[in-house]
Amino acid sequence: MNGSKSGREHWGSKVGFVFAAAGSAIGLGNIWKFPYLTGQHGGGAFVLIYIICILVLGLPIMIAEIVIGRHTEKDPVGAFKIIGGGGRWTAVGYLGVLSGFFILSYYSVVGGWTLGYIVKTITGVVGGITDTSSAEAVFSAFIKNPVEMVLYHFLFMALTVWIVLGGVKNGIEKWNKFLLPILFVIIIVLIVRGLTMEGASRGLAFYLKPDFSRVTVFTVIEALGQCFFSLSLGMGAMITYGSYLSKSDKTLDSSLQIAGLDTMAAFLSGLAIFPAVYAVGMTPAKGPGLTFNILPVVFSRMAYGNVFALLFFVLLFIAALTSAMSLLEVTVAYSTDEKGWGRRKSVLIFGSLIFLLGIPSSLSFNVLSDVKIFFGLTFFDFMDKLTTIYMLPVGGLLIAICLGWKYGLRNTMHELDTDTGLQFLKKIWAFAIKYVSPVILVLIILYFGVYRMLVP
């Protein structure tokens, strides 16, 4: 099982790593948020801008994280002890592990919702939905029920724990190789269904017609923030996955493939959703509203709607589960590498702690809905904003600075592929990490963390 002298477990193959990392990246952000952002921010124009953002910000940081991981063969804390030379830089690693801990605690609550809706589809509750008000009634009754919320959160966490217990190769890699192809097949089936409905073209136009008049400088920052989140950057998830790479595997190549798969999943999700929404004469809404209040109505208005509803919620569930594995693995890598715990002990202890921390989030829609922690936010919203708006961008900024300026790129250049035609990319990458990424991340922090918090 161990592929190296160090005794560290490795991926079974490079493809396995690409699938696992893509599984981490492809999550609720791709299926909920990207389509909505695109629809609102100029359609095809936004897609174009998004792809540029991936190239300018996403890929360089992704490569940096994977390089740090493979170079140090450590969890984020251990990695920063090495590239930060001990001392204060180690805090960046702790920030990452803490981010993983926090994010999974509420991500699992939403993962539980997807499980709940799979059950509700099978038992016919979703099939009984006929209009938006009945859809809203079902959804709000669901999240207002504290017992169901905690139960589904528990189930989702338990599944994540069970998979991660299996290890890097026989748990995470095996399941991603199985689930990710299913995810893409489901998206394609849903696209075909949507596009063959009468009136689908209006949805296609809403989604993709390039409208540059809607593009402002804020659109660009929005796209930058989304690409950063979507690629699971800023907390060492990719450092951790990269640390299980063998020295013979290619880092540049893999990064391009991971970013490509993630972008494809995001783009295709919109193609699966909007044509169908418009074909049944509805208009899209944002975030959870689109998924739980609009889509059930859309399914109820198409032939064999129940089957497609089931496929859709399974899709969401797979997306959430494969991301959750990587979040848990970050905390597990930390406790096995730094504390010397066994995998079993690490997974069970951190899995339990994360479940407990998620309880106040799962109660944020019912028992604790009036308890506002900071800035008038519920616990769930607070954890969400704290991690995605502050912790991840700050983590990304410090990763770029530590690698680019403190440790120096010269010490890690050999981790990039040496035998490809990608040589010129290395110079561009070095420039991006040292100068471009830090500037952009500061902009993102100022925009989302200061401006948008004050001017909602």
Binding residues vs ligand TRP (CB under 6 A): 24-25, 27-30, 103, 229-230, 232, 235, 237, 323, 326-327
Which CB, 94 or 431, lies closer to ligand TRP?
A: 94
Distance CA 319, CA 26 (A): 6
Which CB, 219 or 323, lies closer to ligand TRP?
A: 323
Give the number of other Cβ atoms within 10 Å of residue 187's Cβ.
25
First to last CA, the chain: 51
Which CB, 129 or 327, lies closer to ligand TRP?
A: 327
Give the number of other Cβ atoms within 10 Å of residue 410's Cβ.
8
Which CB, 108 or 323, lies closer to ligand TRP?
A: 323
Which CB, 25 or 118, lies closer to ligand TRP?
A: 25
- Distance in Å, CB of 151 to ligand TRP, minimum: 23
The tokens for 150 are: 């905690």
Residue with tokens 């702690």: 353
The tokens for 423 are: 């040589």
Report the candidate in 148, 152, 191 with the shortest Cα–Cα distance to residue 311: 191
- Distance in Å, CB of 142 to ligand TRP, minimum: 21
- Distance in Å, CB of 350 to ligand TRP, minimum: 14
- Distance in Å, CB of 56 to ligand TRP, minimum: 18
Assess contact for 165 and 344: CB atoms under 8 A. yes
Name the residue whose CB lies closest to ligand TRP.
27
- Distance in Å, CB of 25 to ligand TRP, minimum: 5
Q: Label residue 234 left, alpha or beta by phi (over 0 means left) and psi (-120 to 50 means alpha).
A: left
Distance CA 412, CA 64 (A): 9
Q: Which residues pair with 9 in a beta bridge?
A: 2
- Distance in Å, CB of 27 to ligand TRP, minimum: 2
CA of residue 308 relative to chain centroid, distance: 23
Phi, psi of 9 (to 5 degrees): -70, 145
Assess contact for 191 and 203: CB atoms under 8 A. no
- Distance in Å, CB of 3 to ligand TRP, minimum: 24
* Amino acid found at 344: R
Whole-number CA gyration radius for the chain: 21
Which CB, 103 or 333, lies closer to ligand TRP?
A: 103
Report the candidate in 105, 112, 113 with the shortest Cα–Cα distance to residue 355: 105
Distance CA 392, CA 425 (A): 25
The tokens for 271 are: 């193609």
- Distance in Å, CB of 227 to ligand TRP, minimum: 10
Which CB, 204 or 262, lies closer to ligand TRP?
A: 262
Assess contact for 287 and 31: CB atoms under 8 A. no
Which CB, 65 or 338, lies closer to ligand TRP?
A: 65
The CA–CA distances, whole Å, from 159 to 155, 351, 392 equal 6, 10, 25
Which CB, 241 or 407, lies closer to ligand TRP?
A: 241
- Distance in Å, CB of 327 to ligand TRP, minimum: 5
